[in-house]
Amino acid sequence: MTPLIMRHSPWKGLLSLVLLVLGNLGLLYAEEPQHLRYSVRALGMGNAFVAAVNDESSLYYNPAGLSSVRRQIIEIIGLRTTVNQNIIDLSAETDQTALIGKVVGNKLAVDAGLVTPSITAPGWGISTFGDVMFDAQVHNPTVPYFELLSYLQYGLVGGVSKSLDDKSLDVGVSFKLVQRMGIGKTVHIVDFTGDDFQQDLEDSFVDKQQVAPDIGVIYHDDRWYNWQMKYGLVIKNVGGLDFGSSGAIHSTIDAGVASESEFAGVDLLLAADLVDIAYQSTAKQSLMRNLNLGAELGMWMRSNGHHALALRLGRKGPYLTQGLGLNIPYFPLMIDYAEWSEEVGAVSGAKEDKRKSLQISFNF
- Residue 303 is part of which domain span? 4-363
Reported confidence tier of residue 20, pLDDT bands at 50, 70, 90:
very low
The Cα 213–Cα 207 span in angstroms is 21
For residue 251, the model assigns a pLDDT of 93
**350: domain CATH number?**
2.40.160.40
Q: How far apart (Å, rounded) are the C-alpha atoms in residues 284 and 282?
A: 6
Q: Which uninterrupted H or E stretch holds 290?
A: helix 287-290
Rg (CA), the chain: 21
Task: State the total domains in the chain.
Answer: 1
Q: How far apart are CA 362 and CA 364, in angstroms?
A: 7
The answer to whether residues 152 and 131 touch, using CB atoms and an 8 Å cutoff, is: yes
Nearest to 65 by CA among 301, 226, 271: 271
| 40-65 pLDDT per residue, tens | 999 999 999 999 999 999 999 999 99
In the predicted model, what is the mean pLDDT of residues 303-323? 94
Q: How far apart are the first and last CA of the chain?
A: 33
This prediction's pTM = 0.85
pLDDT > 90 fraction of the chain, expressed in percent and rounded: 49
